[in-house]
Amino acid sequence: MHRFAFIIHPIETRDVTRKYAFMNKIPEGVIKQITKLMPPQKVSKITGVKSPYGETEGWFIAVPLVSDQMLSLPADVVTKKIIRAGKIAEELGAEIVGLGAMTSVVGDAGYTIANNLNIAVTTGNSYTVATALEGTKKAAEIMGKDIEGCNAVVIGATGSIGRVCAELMANQVSGLTLVSRSVEKLRDFAGYLYEKTGVAASLTSDVHEALKNADIVITVTSAVDTVIEPMDLKPGAVVCDVARPRDVSREVVEVRDDVLVIEGGVVEVPGDVNFNFNFGFPPKTSYACMAETMALAMEGRIENFSMGRELSVDKVKEIYEICKKHGFKLAGFRSFEKEVTREQIERIKENAAKKIKNYQA
């Protein structure tokens, strides 16, 4: 059996206080000073991941830095902590380690980590792309949308996940808008995209402007703060928020009952899996990036797989087939830690239709 490990970190300070209740009354700034000094540590052992074709077990290893610390502290400081977490994985017997959330963003997105470890590394981003696109298409279909007639927007389009999402969607929608803070990088990517697909995408650095006519949105920035607010979206819009921390403001689901916001990459794991750690998902489900790491271990693909800032379409398709073979599959829809039922989507669809009708009247 090949074993894996997955590196996690607290998204925000409330994740720290949930684990260490005695910190509840400590100011946030002090909590961050404490976590900055804490070493990486094993969180739990993961058991029971099994398919007819293979099985695996592994460990969660935590780097105790919250998201904004991952981006604001010097990259070498953060990278050393991630490498130390990887060394713990090695010592436990893991042969491949996955990089969760911001640990896959820091520095050169995996290469320096891999160069300092004796085990394989993956960011898990290829399967994240596959499930985000699959989930978005299914959600749009339930909302009564014909993908071929949709205007799609990718926010964070020059990042590793955003680029390949845009490339895979380019020929499936009627219009594509790419959003990034750097217009220069957008132009470079748009040229590449045109050569690969023949699609001339619209470009902007203005999120709010881009969303005015968006039917479907995939958002995957590395921003610490939210970038999509309630009044940005048109009625009936479907938004897949792949980012952690989230790009979509919680206010969107509180005040807009006519738009559908889903999280990207929530996956059902095969076997009688026990994570022995509550990361907020229902039992036997995981993020897609975790699933990619498990699937590679089950398949015996002990190699650096999803690395750096330029994922390939071929690898997205390959990991999708590997995961499908072992029984990993999309586990319904979730939004802000809650399941989104088919009935809720039908109500959102009805509310959107009413609002559109009122606009037209």
Domain positions in the chain? 3-126+266-330, 127-265+334-360
Report whether pLDDT(359) > 70: no
Average pLDDT estimate for 43-54: 97
pLDDT of residue 110: 87
**Most confident of the following: 13-17, 106-110, 194-198:** 194-198
Share of the chain above pLDDT 90, in %: 73
How much is the average pLDDT of 316-324? 97
Please tell me the predicted confidence (pLDDT) of residue 170.
96
- Whether the pLDDT of residue 361 is over 70: the answer is no
Residue 175: pLDDT band (50, 70, 90) is very high
Whole-number Å distance between alpha carbons of 341 and 142: 11
pLDDT at 13 over 90: no
Is 90 exceeded by the pLDDT of residue 81? yes
**Residue 209's pLDDT band (boundaries 50, 70, 90)?**
very high
pLDDT higher at 272 or 16: 272
Least reliable range by pLDDT among 130-134, 151-155, 196-200, 357-361:
357-361
Q: What is the CATH number of domain 127-265+334-360?
A: 3.40.50.720
Mean of pLDDT values over 143-170: 94
Average pLDDT, the chain: 92
pLDDT of 137: 93
Is 244 a residue whose pLDDT tops 80? no
pLDDT at 101 over 90: no
Tell me what pLDDT residue 247 has: 93
Q: Output the pLDDT for position 280.
A: 80
Check whether 265 has a pLDDT greater than 70: no
**Residue 11's pLDDT band (boundaries 50, 70, 90)?**
confident
* 59 band by pLDDT with thresholds 50, 70 and 90: very high
At 14 the pLDDT is: 78
* pLDDT-based confidence at residue 324 (cuts at 50, 70, 90): very high
Confidence of residue 152 (pLDDT cuts 50, 70, 90): very high
Q: Residue 42 pLDDT more than 90?
A: yes
